[in-house]
Chains A and B, each alone.
Chain A
């Protein structure tokens, strides 16, 4: 069955450092990979989308890489701030658009 795995343990990081999150998948050939941010009790908010033929995407302090050989994506938050504290979700979609999410990794940025 298709699986999307993210680190289940919270990532505690000091303000100003780079947070790196991992998303691994199996039994999947995604056309697109997306990252979302979710705050408690709220709907996820889109951050970045990367296509299967792209290696890297950047947006402000965010960077995502996509390795279809390793079946892995890395998500980086540089110069992290306390306001970046949230749960970050990896999502994969196939060519039909079915968008499935990983369980998410909680990031806690301390001053």
Chain B
């Protein structure tokens, strides 16, 4: 158990809908990362937060947004969902930047 909790574990939704994925980092970790992993692709970096502030952005679609709350948990919002958004979404956390990252078990999103 990495100590990073992601909910829900599985999510099935229809095209055009909006979903929210939640991540609780390890206790004391200030940095949170979000990644997307499709079947035919590796881990794609989406966004990073550090102590509540956005720190780095990857190729995150405009339909996607995220935030980190004062209690350090984070949410990833995906809207106007398309079939191609079906993937595993991972959250990871680290104490500070540039230290080992701990990954959650992921949320498997299926868009039908």
Contact = CB atoms under 8 A, between A and B. Distances in A.
Task: Please classify the interface of chain A as helix (H, G, I), strand (E, B), loop, or mixed, using the class held by over half of its residues.
Answer: loop
Interface core residue of A31, A32, A98 (most chain B CB under 10 Å): A98
A49 B48 contact: no
Nearest to B105: A43
28 contacts: A31-B98, A34-B100, A42-B105, A42-B106, A43-B4, A43-B92, A43-B103, A43-B104, A43-B106, A44-B43, A45-B2, A45-B103, A46-B100, A49-B99, A89-B42, A97-B55, A97-B56, A97-B94, A97-B98, A98-B45, A98-B55, A98-B58, A100-B45, A100-B58, A101-B42, A102-B42, A103-B41, A104-B42
Interface residues of A, number: 22
Given A98-B58, A99-B101, 5 more contacts: A44-B101, A44-B103, A45-B2, A96-B56, A100-B58
